[in-house]
Amino acid sequence: MLDTQVPDFTLPATGGTAFRLTEQEGKIVVIYFYPKDSTPGCTTEGQNFRDLHEQFAAAGAVILGISRDSLKAHENFKSKQSFPFQLGSDADEAVCTLFGVIKDKMMYGKLCRGIERSTFVIDRAGVLRREWRGVKVAGHAQEVLDFVNTL
């Protein structure tokens, strides 16, 4: 998928909106997939993107966080953490499947199916330029910002 056009998709998002990829043309799009709202790693990851949001915006980038959580859970999470970007609800896993982030993983010693923490950067022309899979949260948002600044 790297260096190819990302197919258009639309997701229900926070603030009563819908996020549509084709409406972002001319902007760099940072999409980060995370397992679950209001869990420790996901909260820290979102806070890191939040804290660097102005720098992402200055570079011409928009950020979208995606998980399978409901819009209600997203609204609470976004409000509590003061996220300045949208969270998209992918309850049917269509966008997760498009990016191949649904994996079998171990949680508390049990095998379960869920989102592998992953981030994708799409350039101004809608082409996928970089992906990170199996993300470790520490330092990740800064690494993504450093890459966005090269585009």
Summarised one tens digit per residue, pLDDT across range 40-58 is 999 999 999 999 999 999 9
42 flagged as catalytic:
yes
For the chain, the domains span: 10-148
Cα distance between residue 113 and residue 107, in whole Å: 9
Q: Report pLDDT digits (tens) over 102-143.
A: 998 777 788 888 899 999 999 999 999 999 999 999 999 999
| CATH-assigned architecture of domain 10-148 | 3-Layer(aba) Sandwich (3.40)
CA distance 28 to 1: 17
Place of tokens 């980038």: 61
Q: Active site residue: 28, 42, 63, 64, which one?
A: 42
pTM for the full predicted model: 0.94
For the chain, the helix, strand and coil percentages under 3-state DSSP, each to the nearest 5: 35, 35, 35
Three-state SS for 104-120 is: EEEECCEEEEEECCEEE
